[in-house]
Structure 1
Amino acid sequence: MQVVLLEDVKSVGKKGDIVKLSDGYARNFIIKKNLGLEATPQNLNDLKLRKANDAKIAAEELAAAKQLAEELSGKKITLAIKAGEGGRAFGSVSTKEIVKAIKDQLGMDIDKKKLILPEPIRSFGVTEVPIRLHRDVTGKLDVHVVEA
């Protein structure tokens, strides 16, 4: 029996694949647990339409991410932290503070999980922070840290 998978099934296939399975396994496990549907012409047509819609949505998300990356390039935000002895930074700047500054200074909402900051910024000056906006798009933002 041929089955269209609705979800990833370990050692069988990925979502959207058309796989040939034994009748018992397909009826008693895959179809019963709503992991797949029998590969009828109607279900195959639905799958084709769903894939086309998913591709369209993915293309729109990619275009939006590219546009946001262009908007972010060349922009700079400024953060002030206290200075300790000898002009060293007292404390650090984390992703949470960077996201708050982006919202206040640039008016953009960016999730802090998208910032690629291996460790908090602990020095004064300009640091380039990469922002993963999409799987294929990474923008860059300059963060200027000054003494408070």
Structure 2
Amino acid sequence: MKVVLRDEVPSLGRRGDICDVADGYAQNYLIPKGLAIRATRGSEREAEAMRRRREIADAAVLSEAQEMAGRLAGCSIRVVARAGEAGRLYGSVNAVNLAAAIAEQERVVLEPEMLDVPEPIKEVGTYAVAVKPHPEVATEVTVEVVAEA
């Protein structure tokens, strides 16, 4: 059965996509939950309109991510943390701390998931952190962790 997706379904597609699925899957799951409607000529025109709106929204999100990356490219973020004599931090600096520092210092709001910090930073020093505000956009910031005076 051909259906038009009204919402994103991870294993099938995104809003506005026309998919061919098993009759039982469509009738017992997708249609009752409001995730899809049966594909007709009218619903196919509606699906085309949904896809156009989705493409416009995706382009806006991409341009916003590119602008964010442009503002962050090459910038240096300074994080102050408590540290011992040998430069070892008493806690650690993770993606949440870095996102807050970037928001405070550069006025760019990022989700912690956008920062590629493989493991928390536990020592004073300078680190390069990859920032991915969108799957197609990436940049790098320099993070300088200094001991609290």
TM-score computed with the length of structure 2 as normaliser: 0.79
Which has the higher Rg, Structure 1 or Structure 2? 1
- Closer, same or farther in 2 for the Cα pair 1:107/1:43, shift >3 Å? same
| Cα contact 1:5–1:18 (8 A) shared by 2 | yes
Corresponding position of 1:17: 18
- Residue 119 of structure 1, CA deviation: 1.1
Structure 2 residues not aligned, in runs of 5+: none
Give structure 1 regions of 4+ aligned residues with deviation exceeding 6 angstroms. Answer: none
- Which residue of the partner structure matches residue 38 of structure 2? 38
Kindly tell me: are residues 104 and 39 of structure 1, through their superposed partners in 2, closer, same or farther at Cα, counting changes over 3 Å?
A: closer
Q: Would you say how many aligned residue pairs link Structure 1 and Structure 2?
A: 143
Distance 1:41 1:144 in 2: 59
Using the alignment, how far apart are the partners of 2:3 and 2:39 within structure 1?
5
- Compute the TM-score of the two structures, normalised by the length of structure 1: 0.80
Residue 88 of structure 1, CA deviation:
2.3
Q: What displacement does 1:129 show?
A: 0.9
Cα distance 1:71–1:43, how it changes in 2: closer, same or farther (>3 A)? Answer: same
Q: Unpaired runs of 5+ in structure 1?
A: none
Higher strand share: 2
Equivalence for 2:131: 131
Alpha-carbon distance, 1:142 to partner: 0.8
Structure 2 vs 1, CA of residues 4 and 98 (structure 1 numbering), >3 Å: closer, same or farther? closer
Look up the equivalent residue of 2:18 and give its one-letter code.
Answer: D
C-alpha distance in structure 1 between counterparts of 2:26 and 2:87, whole Å: 67
Alignment of 1:1-148 (within 5 A): 2-7=2-7, 8=9, 13-15=12-14, 16-19=17-20, 22=23, 25=24, 28-29=27-28, 30-85=30-85, 87-91=86-90, 92-148=92-148
